[in-house]
Amino acid sequence: MYDILLFLTKSLVLKITELTRLEKDNDEAYYAVLSTLATMGAGEFSDEDYKNQIKISLQAYHKIIKDIHYAQIERYGNISLTDVSFSTEEGKAILVSGSDLNKLEKILDATKDTGINVYTHGIEMLMAHSFDKFKS
C-alpha cells in the first residue's frame, strides 16, 4: 500500500504542475499531497491510515483531472472528432510526446513558418489534435 500511495502522490504532483501551467490551481490536490507526506512521515502507519490516505488522494486526483480537462477546453477550445494524419514529410522535424499541451503550444508557436514539421506521440498528444486550437 505504501507503493500505491507513493505512486498516487507523484501523480498528483505532476497533475498539479500541469494545472499550474494552465494558470489554474487546485488546493484539494495540494493539501492531499501535504497530508500524505505528513502521514507517511509520522512513523507508525496502519493499514487503515494507508486506506484512508489512498481514498483522499484518489478523490483529489479525480477532481484535478476534471479541472485539467475544463482548463484545457477553456484555453484550447472545444473538442471534436478529428481525423489525424499519420503521414510524414521530408525535412527537419520535432517529435513531441508526454501530456503537457502547454509545451506543445509553445513548440508550435516557435516553429511557425520555419518549415520545421512537428509530430506528436502518445495518447495525450494524439488527443491534442481534437482541440480547436491545435487543428489550425
The Cβ of residue 94 has, within 10 Å, a number of other Cβ atoms equal to 13
Picking from 80, 69, 75, 66, the residue whose alpha carbon sits closest to that of residue 130 is 80
- Looking at residue 11, its pLDDT comes to 94
- Looking at residue 93, its pLDDT comes to 95
Instruction: Look at the pTM and tell me if it is higher than 0.95.
Output: no
Give the three-state DSSP class for 54: helix
Report the alpha-carbon distance of residue 59 to residue 14 in Å, rounded.
Answer: 16
CB burial of residue 121 (10 Å; 0-12, 13-18, 19+): exposed
Residue carrying C-alpha cell 484539494 = 28
- Looking at residue 91, its pLDDT comes to 92
- Looking at residue 75, its pLDDT comes to 94
* pLDDT tens-digit profile, the chain (136 residues): 888 888 999 999 999 999 998 999 999 999 999 988 887 776 777 888 888 989 999 999 999 999 999 999 999 999 999 888 888 889 999 999 988 888 899 999 999 999 999 999 888 888 899 999 988 7
- Looking at residue 96, its pLDDT comes to 93
